[in-house]
Amino acid sequence: MNWWLAAACALVAGGLGPCLWGAARGPAGGRVVAQNMATLLLCLVLLLLSQGYGRPSYVDLALVVAVLGPAGTLVFTRLLGDEMGERPPGTRLLTPAVLVGAPATVVPMCIAAGPGRAAAKLVLIGVLLIAGGAVTSRAVRRG
């Protein structure tokens, strides 16, 4: 029994599932928020999977998501701008989710990895996640 994989499984079922539900119904703004939340959760899931399988090279996937996820959300906010309206439902959840989720995943993994290049990469992913969360939540709030 691997606790990292168990946490990843719980995040897939309890995090990405509701995100899909949120993206499938409701106004356009709420859907974009759900998509942004899904990219954040996916990044955390991939980090947990790389630790769970014991393959540090899988961290690259999380790095790609941390860069491309906010880009995708910005594409949606730019092109759906007139339909979204200001402060779509669920916007308030974004910032706390990033600020709690990113450190809660990255810090234990850094401790498990020990100091070195791997830990630096993990910290970089955490910083990218927080920066991306700040940029996208501002863009979504403006509508």
Partner 1 sequence: MDDALVVAALLLVAAAATVAVFQRDPARQAIVLSLLGLALAVLFTVLQAPDVGLAQLAVGSAVTPLMILLAVRKVRRKGHRK
Binding site for partner 1 (CB under 8 A): 1-2, 5-6, 8-9, 12-13, 16-17, 19-20, 23-24, 28, 31-32, 34-35, 38-39, 42, 45-46, 49, 53, 55, 57-58, 60-61, 64-65, 68-69, 71-72, 75-76, 79-80, 83
Q: How far is the CB of 85 from partner 1 (least distance, A)?
A: 14
Q: How far is the CB of 69 from partner 1 (least distance, A)?
A: 6
Cα-Cα-Cα-Cα dihedral sign, residues 8, 126, 19, 92: positive
**C-beta closer to partner 1: residue 94 or 115:** 94
**C-beta closer to partner 1: residue 2 or 100:** 2
Residue 116 backbone dihedrals phi, psi, to 5 degrees:
145, -165
Q: Answer for the pair 49, 5: CB distance below 8 angstroms, yes or no.
A: yes
**C-beta closer to partner 1: residue 79 or 115:** 79
Cα-Cα-Cα-Cα dihedral sign, residues 69, 72, 24, 87: positive
CA 132 – CA 11 distance, rounded (Å): 20
Q: How far is the CB of 12 from partner 1 (least distance, A)?
A: 5
- Spatial CB neighbours of 56, under 8 Å, sequence gap ≥ 6: 50, 113, 118
Q: How far is the CB of 53 from partner 1 (least distance, A)?
A: 8
